[in-house]
Amino acid sequence: MRQLESIAKKAVWASLVLCSAMLWTEPVMAAKPQPVRQVLWYTRPATNWMTEALPVGNGRIGAMIFGGLPVERIQFNDKTLWTGSTTERGAYQNFGDIFIDFGAAGGNNPRGPVDYRRELDLDDALAKVVYKADGVTYTREYLASYPDDVIAMRFTANKKGKIGFTVRMDDAHTGGQRTVTGNSITISGKLTLLSYKAQLTVLNEGGTLQAGDSTLTLTGADAATLLLSAGTDYDPQSPDYLTRSDWKGKVSTVAARAGSKGYAALRKAHLDDYHALYNRLSLNVGNTTPELPTDELFVRYSKGEYDPAADVLYFQYGRYLTIASSRPGLDLPSNLQGLWNDSNTPPWQSDIHSNINVQMNYWPAEPTNLAECHEPFTRYIYNESQLHDSWKKMAGELDCGGWALKTQNNIFGYSDWNWNRPANAWYCMHVWDKYLFDPQRDYLEQEAYPVMKSACRFWLDRLIVDDDGKLVAPNEWSPEHGPWESGIPYAQQLIWDLFNNTVRAGRILGTDQAFVDQLESKLERLDNGLTVGSWGQLREWKHLEDDPANQHRHVSHLIGLYPGRAISPALDTLYANAARRTLAARGDFGTGWSRAWKIAFWARLLDGDHAHLLLKNAMTLTDNTGLTYQTHQNSGSGIYANLFDAHPPFQIDGNFGATAGVAEMLLQSQLGELHLLPALPSVWGTGEVKGLRGRGGYVVDMDWSGGRLTGATVLATHDGTCTIRTDLPVSVQGAASGRSRTVPGLAVSTPVSDGYYLTTFPARAGERYLLKTVAAK
């Protein structure tokens, strides 16, 4: 079972999973319209790809929409289009551009266009341009269809015979071929290893279509639909990464099939597919549909004019980008730019970067109810670590079994730059988390456990005994600075997490006791990477003294706080307070993704106002597209007008990290309990969220007022024992088959010393449990 949705669990839950006989097989949540519209909109065309153009994508192919007048530009990509090979890194590539010259109908006249609006509707995954010229209203609509595997462009007017244009499609590479035949333009070529093909088809309603040497010209039409299909011969499961199928024929067949359906049917299929994912989760914190253009909204926000609409829009934008850049069927994760890239020499090759970046891309997938979108990453990990040889060979270079990798990775298993050996443990966090959010034995047995066990084998061969008798990883670093030394907390915390999770997985399966026993014996001697330093900080190095003035963008020694589970105020205030001291010293700024990571850090420390401060810092509007690693307030980091994360330059992980951080402010489940509203900021005093996911198999709806929980609904998708942590005692009722009933004898909230209440009850798959706050005694 590859399409799994994740849910959290306490260590004690592992045995309960073995007894679980009922699996919830209905949809995670019925798709419902969003109560407040989430739309990015602007009053002028985009002129800059990175800062202004708007992204659409179906998980594999994507485009950036400019909305230009009189010439429209659509730049497009295929996530599999790379130079390089199994022996050369290469780089992610720009596929090409489509230019559509509308002439006078594009506002190219003395009077020019009026009432111009360019938008990206997150609720429907539709980009749109509307304007008036010479008394005619023109509308352009763009979508990237997952079910039909095309990018569709629809051009209409409110008067007949007014649609006309000349269109061409340019290859981003020299040496390729372009042909114009009938109503289609095709480009094709070959790179280092891969070959590629794209086809643009014009379907006109009325009018006359004429073919030129490199263009198609339409005149006098009532409407027109352009369909873009594209592909390469990449196959992530093939030994040489090349498919043996008729992939070129498929590019043409896909276009023909989509064209035969007609735009209305394509649009409906797209909306049905997208809504089934996006509409699972809604959030309102007092926000209304923004009445200001998006760039103006964020200009004011950056100047201190707070509007909760900006918070929610940015949160949902991260979910939109997740759906648009990562869908099942292609075992290839999002890269440093998701799938949108207009350069053949992009920053850091727009690679699959194992040093937090690809991991951060997938932080929001499970908690924000997009588990299917996590699958391309977990399948990529399985393929590369189990089916292919390069990661195994890298482990072999170190005389170790299992698998390991370095920092920069292409799509052919090639890995270079610096060793990032602990990345195998970090990747396994995702593999294990996918199980926790949706604890299905088949997945654990067939995919997760083999990957995790193999990573453990690497470390069992790699660990050495330090002077203090503890097992440590030799010669590691704290990315991306400082010395290389043994026992680095970044590595130790990750290995501790890997060993713990693999032991739990092995116990659940009960089929590999000898290995589990061996791993447990090593775990008892393992340095866990948690040490308080001389100025109250959590130490970043085991031997070198930390510098309290160091404000490096990486805070890798807090990985046990987030996304790990070893540090929490609910577990041990000693280490939680040390982590807080470290964060205070690191500062509240950094590169785009660094600011996003700190949102989750502060949320895990249960400080909602500080988490929200980092969210605001992450949403600082900038136009800086140059490369910088600066960490100060005016570094140019933040977001662009199109809400892309600015490292700078554009790097999409910060978008996903911010969305994940907001989810952590509202619901946490890493400790095996559902902590409701753990880090609610004061500016979100009243609100509601529907559709958050928690580990163990739960979907959670909540509402609150005055900063306190007022009620919640928990849907169990698996049998288990549910533990709820709240700031007020709650009563629990079950609603089965439409009938409400009190859960007998299990609605008792027990106060705990940190001012919270724990409520535990048996949960059955398919049942909803209603929680209401009651007065504390």
pLDDT, tens digit, for every residue of 210-261?
A: 999 999 999 999 999 999 999 999 999 999 999 999 999 999 999 999 999 9
210 and 306 in a common domain: no
Using 50, 70 and 90 to split pLDDT, how confident is the model at 19?
A: very low
373 and 246 in a common domain: no
DSSP 448: I
Instruction: Say how many domains are in the chain.
Output: 2
Read off the tokens for 298: 């964020």
d(CA 391, CA 385): 6
Q: What is the CATH number of the domain that holds 620?
A: 1.50.10.10
Asked whether the predicted pLDDT for residue 736 surpasses 70, the reply is no
Looking at the DSSP bridge assignments, the partners of residue 96 are 76, 171
d(CA 361, CA 695): 19
Domain-ending residue, one of 646, 676, 706 = 676
CA-CA-CA-CA torsion sign (417, 418, 419, 424): negative
Range of the domain at 49: 39-279
311 and 163 in a common domain: no
Query: What's the Cα-to-Cα distance from 80 to each of 60, 108, 350, 514, rounded to whole Å?
Result: 8, 37, 12, 41
668 and 590 in a common domain: yes
Using 50, 70 and 90 to split pLDDT, how confident is the model at 363?
A: very high
Asked whether the predicted pLDDT for residue 1 surpasses 80, the reply is no
Asked whether the predicted pLDDT for residue 443 surpasses 50, the reply is yes
**pLDDT value, residue 776:** 66
**pLDDT value, residue 752:** 86
Average pLDDT over residues 758-770: 94
Look at residue 178 and give its three-state secondary structure: strand
Asked whether the predicted pLDDT for residue 340 surpasses 80, the reply is yes
Neighbours of 77 (CB within 10 A): 28
Is residue 269 in a domain?
yes
Domain-ending residue, one of 279, 312, 345 = 279
Is residue 646 in a domain?
yes
Which tens digits make up the pLDDT trace of 511-549?
999 999 999 999 999 999 999 999 999 999 998 889 999
Asked whether the predicted pLDDT for residue 775 surpasses 80, the reply is no
d(CA 664, CA 773): 21
DSSP 387: I
Is residue 62 in a domain?
yes
Q: What is the CATH number of the domain that holds 174?
A: 2.70.98.50
Read off the tokens for 79: 């996530």
CB 172, CB 93: distance < 8 Å? yes
Share of the chain above pLDDT 90, in %: 87
Average pLDDT over residues 438-445: 98
Look at residue 516 and give its three-state secondary structure: helix
Kindly report the average pLDDT of the chain as a whole number: 92
Using 50, 70 and 90 to split pLDDT, how confident is the model at 735?
A: low
Average pLDDT over residues 176-200: 97
**pLDDT value, residue 685:** 96
Pairing of strands 177-181, 184-190: antiparallel
371 and 238 in a common domain: no
Is residue 726 in a domain?
no
Residue of 437, 463, 459 whose CA lies nearest to 448: 437
**pLDDT value, residue 75:** 98
Asked whether the predicted pLDDT for residue 14 surpasses 50, the reply is no
Asked whether the predicted pLDDT for residue 2 surpasses 60, the reply is no
Average pLDDT over residues 263-277: 98
Pairing of strands 223-232, 645-646: unpaired
Residue of 363, 448, 364, 353 whose CA lies nearest to 407: 353
Average pLDDT over residues 124-147: 97
475 and 371 in a common domain: yes
Average pLDDT over residues 289-294: 92
Asked whether the predicted pLDDT for residue 741 surpasses 60, the reply is no
Is residue 498 in a domain?
yes
Residues contacting 2, CB < 8 A, separation 6+: 328, 375, 379, 443, 447
Rounded to 5 degrees, φ, ψ at 198 are -135, 145
**pLDDT value, residue 290:** 87
Using 50, 70 and 90 to split pLDDT, how confident is the model at 16?
A: very low
> Structure pTM?
0.94
Is residue 292 in a domain?
no
175 and 101 in a common domain: yes
Domain-ending residue, one of 250, 279, 308 = 279
221 and 76 in a common domain: yes
Asked whether the predicted pLDDT for residue 744 surpasses 50, the reply is no
Asked whether the predicted pLDDT for residue 4 surpasses 60, the reply is no
Average pLDDT over residues 631-653: 92
What is the widest separation between alpha-carbon atoms in the chain? 83
322 and 248 in a common domain: no
348 and 270 in a common domain: no
**pLDDT value, residue 627:** 86
Long-range CB contacts for residues 703-707, cutoff 8 Å, separation at least 24: 704/677, 704/680, 707/680, 707/682
DSSP 464: E
Asked whether the predicted pLDDT for residue 5 surpasses 70, the reply is no
Is residue 237 in a domain?
yes
311 and 250 in a common domain: no
Asked whether the predicted pLDDT for residue 139 surpasses 90, the reply is yes
**pLDDT value, residue 108:** 65
DSSP states of 247-275: HHHHHHHHHHHHHHH-HHHHHHHHHHHHH
**pLDDT value, residue 12:** 28
Which tens digits make up the pLDDT trace of 20-62?
322 333 345 555 666 789 999 999 999 999 999 999 999 999 9
Pairing of strands 674-676, 720-726: parallel
Using 50, 70 and 90 to split pLDDT, how confident is the model at 740?
A: very low
d(CA 142, CA 551): 43
> 């928690």: which residue's tokens?
694
Residue of 736, 727, 593 whose CA lies nearest to 653: 593
Look at residue 149 and give its three-state secondary structure: coil
d(CA 425, CA 505): 14
Exposure string of 532-560, with b = 16+ CB inside 10 Å and e = fewer, is ebeeebbbbbbeeebebeebbbbbbbbbb
248 and 117 in a common domain: yes
Average pLDDT over residues 745-768: 84
Is residue 759 in a domain?
no
Amino acid at 506: G
